[in-house]
Structure formats: structure tokens, C-alpha cells
Amino acid sequence: MSGKAHLSLIERAKKARLNAFAPYSRFKVGAAVLSGSGKIYSGCNMENASYGLTVCAERNAVAAMVAAGEREIMAVAVVTDLKTPASPCGACRQVIAEFGPGAKIVMANLKGAVQVRSLSALLPLQFKKQKK
């Protein structure tokens, strides 16, 4: 994945972040998923007064991809306003692994800092359903 592709994914995640619904934490997150077809799907976090029902930006972006009929993730970008880029939470890592066990994870902040890791580096022991 080229630097230009990273920037495109980051820009889409930044744009999605603007729509985040985070009245409780005030922690807005945007995500963008690059699918196997080359299309980009974005999502933002959506909090709920019943905190356990909050949905992360990454899972919303993956859900948008799946709703469009796609099943392969090549890369995911996550954008926050933290001092250093943030990685997806454990639940999001596992959801990404379902469709992109070899995906690249691009983590960025609003100041231009970027880190890229493989999903396998962030989630070395991915859960996989055992075949009988």
C-alpha cells in the first residue's frame, strides 16, 4: 500500500470523524476501510447513554463495507485527535480480522502523525472458528 493510498484513506477517516456522535466522552474517531475491490467505506464512533451499546468507528466502517456486499479488507485507517495515533480496540481488531487477517492498519492524528502496522502485529493470536 503506497503512501498516497494511506493519505486517501486518512482523509476519508478524517471526514467521517466530523460526524462522530460522542456527547459523553467527547472522543471523536473516524475510520475508513479499503476493500478488496478498491472502494473505501467510512464510519465514525457512535456513543449511547447505555455505554455498552456504543459502537466504534472501525466497526461501523466494516459494517458499511459488508452492507455493500463486500467481504475483504485490505487496510483500515483510524483518525483521532490524540497526541499520538491510536490503534483500534481489541474488539475492532477481531472484527477486522474476520475480513482482513492480513490487513494494514493506518493510525493517524489530526496533526499529521502516522503509524502503520499489520493487523497480525496488533492481534497476533486472532480468534478463528475451528473447522470440524
Helix 3-17 to helix 57-67 angle, to the nearest 10 degrees?
A: 100
Q: Would you name the residues annotated as active-site residues? A: 58
**Positive or negative, the Cα torsion across 23, 55, 52, 93?**
negative
Residue 65 near residue 33 (C-beta atoms within 8 A) = yes
Beta pairing class for 40-44 and 73-80: unpaired
